[in-house]
Chain A
Amino acid sequence: MRILVCVKRVPAPGARIGISDDELDVDSTHLGFTTSPHEECAVEAAVCLVEGAEEGGDVVVLTAGPPAAEEQLRYAASVGATELVLVPIHGGGSWDPQATARALTDCVTALEAQDGPFDLILFGNESADAGGYQVGVRVAHALDRPMVNGAKSIEYSDSVVVVRRATDRGVEIYEIPTPAVVGVREGINLPRYPTMRGRLASKKITITTFDTFPEAGGLQRRRLHRPAETASEPIMLGGGPDAASAVVDVLEELGLT
């Protein structure tokens, strides 16, 4: 079994997201980096599927990003990915959704020509930063494969993937033939933490680099800014358990008790 997972390196902001001076990017000077929780869960799902498969298999993790995205690839390896592929975006910045999908499609095509087809390609439901909700669908179309997004469970058997997804009205069940593409949502599993052994092993894996220069798409960023905030001072109801009375006064005022 061969599974590919596409992940994106993004900054991990805390209480506030700063913006760079040219207003084109998040100011990541003092930030760590991560991947979207959806994508961490996608890696975990892939590793579990391969661990559960009698014949075993490979989990290939692919990212298009700066050379520093090696960090997210190696993290994936520390929790079970077996091959790592980087599509470098040179000179900073990021690609629009169409360009990203074109680059990933080129890379998948090259990887499959060399090592055989992927049974499954996993994406996150949406990227943490851009949140375009489309790169996975675009790649699926370009490769002419079925795609289901928002997966809360994936079962794989006899060339069929059964995907469950939660909606306000209940759970929808999809059954699509492989090779297939699935977008994963956080909550499908609880990703494992890397073990010491996993960490050490991840340092030794070679990262395959695949160069491609995709044509730009029609959606282009001009400026990032923060939504207007209504600054208000909180009403302090006190400190410690003595505040309980003031809290319940508020609950009564709001008609909630």
Chain B
Amino acid sequence: MSGPVLILCEHDGGVISPELEQILTAGGRLAQRLDAPLEAVLVGAEEAVVGALAGRGVQVVHHVAHPELLDYGPAAWGAGLAAVIEGCGPSAVLALGTDRGNEVMAHTASRMDLPLATNCVEVTPAIPWTLTRVQWGGSLLEDCTLDTDLPLLTMARHVTEPDPPNSGPAPLLRTWSVELSAAELAGQVQARESVEQGVTLATAAVVVSGGRGVGSAEGFTVLEDLAGLLSGRVGCSRAVTNNGWRSHTDQVGQTGTRIAPELYIACGISGAVQHWVGAMASKRILAVNTDPAANMVVKADYAVIGDLHEIVPAIAAEIRRRRSG
């Protein structure tokens, strides 16, 4: 049997990431192909968290602890993961392609001077390994070879459909005490500020977005109104943030927020690839645009051709009319 497939188990203050199932599933499938056991690495959490990994095919949880590691620290987590790797000789190491997953793996790869392939959508063990990974935030795919004895990989989010849990046994716990330098410990989160809870751009069921076609900051009033009626949020394109009409927290796209609403209403947005990759997970898209050939219109499920300044208020008025009638 080959060395284990190790997966990085993300948690925040001991609360396991809700996305863990994706990497458990991806790791489990790879372990099966390699005829290797699936094992997880948990850095800095309480041992109690290990129970959350029962019934998921994980045979061993490597728990890395240090008395002064109290919160997330990129370099410290990278060092903890590297210590487990050196100690147990895995056949591959996988994390989910989240900000933290990519960051921790980059630290581990740098320490160990190993290559790292981030945001993979497919991996094939062979000599050398081959894989397909995401480029341009999802607009392009890149086939690569990964020439190494120890593949470090992150899997793109939302690509692996999670398998349901089974009733398997709780994993064995193996505790590792790791040496961390003063610098690695100092790199931990020092403080946190909470943000307003509730519906965010990323979680809203309806997003009403405006692009350059909106023409001004004031022009967004009608979009705000429609979003309010639909209990949704307002989004925008980069042309809008660049003009200072909206804050960057509203920007949808490759360098903004990735959204997945039931309905995306894109008003006066041309649909450049960098915008599209942020919106393409929407269940349905309605484009409002003067240009019937705009990429956003062509790729939408529904379209209205014309001036958003007339159409958006008319939609809001029609909703009000039906509600009062």
The answer to whether A and B assemble together is yes
Residues of A within 8 A of B (CB): 13-17, 19, 26, 36-38, 96-98, 101, 126, 128-134, 137-138, 140-142, 146-150, 164, 166-177, 185-187, 190, 217-227, 232, 234-245, 247-248, 250-252, 254, 256-257
Interface string of B175-196 (1 = CB under 8 A from A): 0000000010011111111110
The residue that B319 contacts in the complex, of A132, A219, A248, with Cβ under 8 A, is A248
Q: A98-B115, A128-B254, A244-B318 are in contact. List 14 more A-B contacts (CB 8 A).
A: A13-B139, A14-B295, A17-B136, A17-B139, A96-B115, A130-B142, A138-B109, A174-B188, A190-B241, A220-B145, A227-B139, A241-B306, A251-B263, A257-B322
Q: Is B305 an interface residue (CB 8 A)?
A: yes
Inter-chain CA distance A146–B78, complex, in Å, is 13
Q: Which residues of B contact A217 (CB under 8 A)?
A: 115
**CB-based contact B143/A247 at 8 Å:** no
A131 and B99 within 8 A (CB) = no
Question: B190 to chain A: which residues have CB within 8 Å?
Answer: 173-175
Neighbour of B287 across the interface among A218, A234, A252, CB < 8 A: A234
What are 23 A-B contacts defined by CB distance under 8 Å? A16-B273, A17-B139, A26-B140, A126-B102, A128-B274, A133-B106, A133-B154, A134-B110, A146-B75, A176-B187, A177-B183, A185-B255, A218-B146, A219-B145, A219-B146, A220-B145, A224-B135, A224-B140, A226-B141, A232-B301, A235-B302, A241-B310, A247-B311
Residues B144 and A222 in contact, CB atoms below 8 Å apart: yes
Is there contact, CB below 8 Å, between B230 and A174? no
Q: B residues engaging A (CB < 8 A)?
A: 12, 72, 74-75, 99, 102-103, 105-107, 109-111, 113-119, 128, 130, 134-148, 154, 183, 186-195, 202, 205-206, 229-230, 238, 241-242, 244, 247-249, 251, 254-256, 262-263, 270-274, 284, 286-287, 295, 297-307, 310-311, 313-315, 317-319, 322-323
A247 and B315 form a contact (CB under 8 A) = yes
* Docked CA distance A227–B119 (Å): 14
A244, B314: Cβ atoms closer than 8 Å? yes
Q: Is the CB of A234 within 8 A of B301?
A: yes
Shortest C-beta distance, A221 to chain B (Å), equals 6
Residue contact A176 to B186, C-beta cutoff 8 Å: yes
Q: Is the CB of A235 within 8 A of B301?
A: yes
In angstroms, Cα B75 to Cα A252, docked, is: 50
Q: Tell me if A131 and B134 are in contact (CB < 8 A).
A: yes
Q: Kindly state the separation between the CA atoms of A239 and B288 in the bound complex, as whole angstroms.
A: 9
In the bound complex, CA of A134 to CA of B154 (Å): 12
Closest to B231 in A: A256
Contact of A141 among B103, B107, B256, B297 (CB under 8 A): B107
Residues of B within 8 A of A226 (CB): 139-141
**In-complex Cβ contact of B303 among A225, A235, A242 (8 A):** A235
Q: Please tell me which one of the listed residues B116, B255, B318 contacts residue A37 in the complex, with CB atoms under 8 A apart.
A: B255
Within 8 Å CB of A186, what residues of B?
A: 248, 251, 255-256
Flag if A133 contacts B118 (CB, 8 Å): yes
Write out the residue numbers on chain A whose beta carbons fall within 8 Å of the beta carbon of B262. 254, 256
Contacts of A177 in B (CB 8 A): 183, 186
Alpha-carbon distance A141/B78, docked complex (angstroms): 11
A17 B140 Cβ-Cβ under 8 A: yes
Which of A173, A174, A223 interacts with B193 by CB under 8 Å?
A: A173
Chain B CB count within 10 A is highest, among A132, A242, A245, for A132
Q: A17-B139, A256-B263 are in contact. Are A171 and B195 (CB under 8 A)?
A: yes
On whether A224 and B141 interact (CB within 8 A), knowing A138-B110, A248-B318, the answer reads yes
Taking a contact as CB atoms under 8 Å apart, the answer to whether A133 and B248 are in contact is no
Contacts of B302 in A (CB 8 A): 234-237, 247, 250
- In chain B, what residue has the closest Cβ to A255? B262
Q: Is the CB of A227 within 8 A of B317?
A: no
**8 Å CB contact of B136 from A128, A138, A172, A236:** A128
| B18 closest partner in A (C-beta) | A168
Question: Contact at B272–A15, with CB atoms within 8 Å?
Answer: yes
Complex-state Cα separation, A98 to B192, whole angstroms:
33
Cβ contact of B271, chosen from A15, A169, A172, A250, cutoff 8 A: A15
Interface centre among B147, B263, B302 (most CB of A within 10 A): B302
- Which B residues are CB-close (under 8 A) to A141? 107, 110-111
CB closest chain-B residue, reference A191: B242
The answer on a CB contact under 8 Å between A239 and B107 is: no
Given contact pairs A147-B75, A218-B147, A248 touches B304 in the complex (Cβ within 8 A): no
Whether B189 lies near A172 (C-beta < 8 A) is: yes
A168 CB to nearest chain B CB (Å):
7
Contact A219 to B144, CB < 8 A, known contacts A174-B187, A177-B186, A245-B318: yes
CB neighbours (8 Å) of A187 from chain B are 241, 247-249, 251, 256
